[in-house]
Structure 1
Amino acid sequence: MTETNTASGPVWPEKSLAQLGARVTSGSRGWAKYYSDYGDLFVRITNLRRTSTRLDLSSPRYVQVDPDDAEARRTRLRPGDILVSITADIGIIGLVHKTVPDPAYINQHIARVRLDPKLADSRYISYFLASWAPQQRFVGATDQGAKAGMNLTAVANLTAAVPPLAEQVAIADVLDAAVAQIEALERLIAKKLDIKQGLMQELLTGRSRLPGYSGEWREVRLGDVGNTYGGLTGKDKNDFGRGDGLYVTFTEVMAGPRLVGNRLERVRIRPGERQNQVQKGDVLFNGSSETPEEVALASVVDFRPKPGTFLNSFCFGYRLENRQGIDPGYLAYFFRSAQGRMMVSALAQGATRYNIAKTKLMHLSPLLPPVDEQQAIVAVLRDAEDEIGALQRSLTSARDITTGMMQQLLTGRTRLHLGAAS
């Protein structure tokens, strides 16, 4: 069943979910009184996602309800049920897999579709409804207004291109295998991110020392060993996207502790504005954010910028005068660690948007190991990041391949070779 061949045969018939024996219902209102810190799973729209038919149960809601209650029986989920969001952001598709806890229920913003298994494979139908063309129709309907919605009759009238049941099963099996690979990569990346976070907590606080290092840690006042500088000011919208200058964006500074310069933007620099150019080894900070926890996230300039490279006006830079005692890459990691975040968030000020003055940063005195240990810690953390980056690229590739497979298999452009069964 792994061989494929292109087909130019007849298009599969379009059938409504009702023609596939669908029994459609939605969840009940008024379940808030049953909310609990534990109990039975209560599925909401936030548990559905457009990138996958698998439910996202990372932020579950629970209810305590009598399973024999009439509404509980009516809205209880079973493996194979298809879920469709029917209010606001309509048409997000989910499938209830065997791994979903039982019992589980849905709220009034979700329709539950239970197909006749003799007529359709619910996995195939969920993949089809979540594919590009049906989703574009849902998105178009949602864009018509904030009160967009679907009634249960409209859900029952949703259509799918339906091949013979054996071919539905075969297609679903292939896509399930591809999705399983994606989910395995997602779990591995999450695990590696947790490991990296743990490394930062241990190594940047001195709770754990790398083998061979035992030197004394000392407090270093940043204002004693370096100076800050500001970003571009006095620019208007006509200066951006043109000119011979370059600037580091706000989002790139916030993205990670290592800035490699692959997303610089063009900017027009006028006479007299060529001071404070970004240099390799500078530590850049975002100066404002919507939350105090995200103020002054640090990123070290880890490439050699071209002359005429500047910093966004919402950011500021820090340049060491003498790097013999501090590795700038270590500082970038430190100010992204839990300890560093506590230090800078305490300095943040604001109401709707939080800011930090660069002069206040100069009064901070982080506890630092000897510079050779700093450099060794940076090397360990960068190795971990490189491994995560490689896995993320593999994940992107796997998602692209799966999307392509869906386009081919769900439209009949590529047919699975079923052997004698076909």
Structure 2
Amino acid sequence: MNNNNPTSHQTRFGLLPSDWSCLSLGDLVHDVSYGSSSKSAKVGNVPVLRMGNMQDGFLDWNDLVYTSDAVEISKYELKKNTVLFNRTNTVDLVGKAAIYRGERPAIYAGYLIKINNKPELLNSEYLNYVLNTNQIKSYNKLILSVAVSQANINGQKLKTYPIPVPPHIDEQTAIASALSDVDTLLTELEKLIAKKQAIKTASMQQLLTGKTRLPQFATYTEGADEGKRKGTKSSELGKIPEDWDVEKIGSVVSITTGSRNTQDKLSSGKYPFFVRSQTIERIDTYSFDGEAVLTAGDGVGTGKIFHYINGKFDYHQRVYLMHNFGDRIDGYYFYIYFSNFFYDRIMSMTAKSSVDSVRREMIADMLITLPSKEEQVATATILSDMDNEIQTLEQRLTKTRQIKQGMMQQLLTGRTRLPLKKHETEQDGGS
């Protein structure tokens, strides 16, 4: 890469190298065209891509609808490496652009615009990256029309978009290729994280129900049954290992709520303050110091949001605090079990109505399986290690996304130039 850029000029897209142009999109395309307005269904021959399938630069192939209309398919069938643009929806969703890479035959719906670029002037992958820059997102908001809650950018306005154009089409291709390599890395990381998540979920279901035992706990280690595989028994929670117990949560942990005098303070403080479904900082001193699991008693996230903490913190009166873990239960094992089974159990207790609030007795009466504490710790350690591995991968994913954003800003503004092969520049006069 070459960061030398001695001369530049100001354009509608921003500061560009002196040998780059800034042209309106309309000068670089044959035309732009609206998609199909025919009805689609959950079954059919060909997917109809909609605004919901548009992400930042790529297509999400989940939640598809289909058509079997031969006329519509013939008229709106997409060609590989076609850029699509979302022309209407909320202010935040209008202007999303993505490239169709020929993943499978598809047509596009009426709220999308297909950009038919002139390939000798504009590389479609390069265009896709340009349309997802911060500069273009700002331009979206500048020119969109808003009626009530619906925003719109029509084809004519789309043609006014400022596009930075390097002097050689090969430079566009090189930029697109470099960014595509990062996208490939992001995709592989996302797949790996999804795989690790699936393994963790399956492992939790097996280990927390005793369907799979860790080797050191699966067989008897002494007495007449030494070496014999442990059996199962019936319980209120179904079949469980014969050496496990089932207890009510209220009999193995303490359950309390915060003081009614607690005041929500959004100032920066020393200790975390748990208030319903959020974590904010509190200026007051803490009211608890130790190992605990917390869940919201009402509001957004009721029955679904949980925290594990071992330290000093304060908490709101409508947050339930479970603590005082003794010889029979490990705190982190309880957190993993509770956060995985609590919501479904609560829903069953409320006759499948929505959970507006949780009463203390709902928690206290919930049943939990109890292996030996030694097995609980071993299980929690394995699952925690899996979680830490996933978190490390997610941090790497976040960092790679940040790197990509930085590369886009550098490459698509010419601040950093990629070296081109000598014969490529010589073909254009050796400039």
Match status 1:287 vs 2:294: no
SS at match of 1:280: strand
2:45 paired residue number: 39
Superposition pairs of residues 2-401 of structure 1, within 5 angstroms: 3-9=1-7, 10=18, 12-32=20-40, 35-50=41-56, 53-66=57-70, 69=71, 71-88=72-89, 89-98=93-102, 100-102=103-105, 104-141=106-143, 144=146, 146-163=149-166, 164-214=168-218, 216-235=243-262, 239-241=265-267, 246-251=272-277, 265-268=281-284, 277-290=287-300, 295=303, 297-301=305-309, 303-305=310-312, 309-320=313-324, 323-337=326-340, 339-348=341-350, 354-401=356-403
Distance in 2 (alpha carbons) for counterparts of 1:40 and 1:148: 28
* Distance in 2 (alpha carbons) for counterparts of 1:392 and 1:296: 21
The answer for the alignment partner of 1:414 in structure 2 is 416
Residues 248 and 366, structure 2, Cα contact 8 Å, conserved in 1: yes
Shift of 1:348: 4.8
- Structure 1 unaligned runs (5+)? 253-262
Matched length? 386
Which digits, 9 at most, give the CA deviation of each residue in 1:306-330, with x for residues without a partner? Answer: xxx311333110123x511111111
The CA distance in 1 between the partners of 2:55 and 2:204, in whole Å, is 31
Deviation at 1:378, TM superposition (A): 0.3
Judge conservation of contact 1:279–1:304 (CA < 8 Å) in 2: yes
- Residue of structure 1 equivalent to 2:236: none
Structure 1 residue 43: deviation in Å? 0.5
Q: Which residue of 1 aligns with 2:232?
A: none
- Retained in 1: the 8 A contact 2:87–2:152? yes
**Structure 1 vs Structure 2: percent identity of aligned residues?**
25
Distance 2:44 2:374 in 1: 49
TM-score using structure 2 length? 0.83
What is the letter of the counterpart of residue 191 of structure 1?
A: K
- Which structure's CA Rg is the greater one? 2
Between 186-195 and 349-358, the greater mean CA deviation after superposition: 349-358
Please, what is the CA RMSD of the aligned residues?
A: 2.4
Q: Would the aligned equivalents of 2:347 and 2:354 in 1 still touch at CA under 8 Å? A: no
* Distance in 2, Cα, partners of 1:64 & 1:250: 48
Q: Is the 8 A contact 1:242 1:268 kept in 2?
A: no
1:341 shift after superposition = 3.2
SS across alignment from 2:78: coil
| TM-superposed deviation, 1:159 | 2.5
Give, as a single letter, the amino acid of the residue that structure 1 aligns with 2:136. P
* 1:231 shift after superposition: 2.6
Counterpart code for 1:364: M
Q: Deviations over 1:164-216 (max 9, x none)?
A: 20100010000000111111111111111111111111111111001110471
Q: Deviations over 1:40-82 (max 9, x none)?
A: 11101111123xx11111322222221xx1x333321111211
TM-score, structure 1 length as denominator?
0.84
- Partner letter of residue 402 of structure 2? D
Structure-2 change in CA distance of 1:349 and 1:12 (3 Å): farther
Aligned partners of 2:208 and 2:337 also within 8 Å: yes
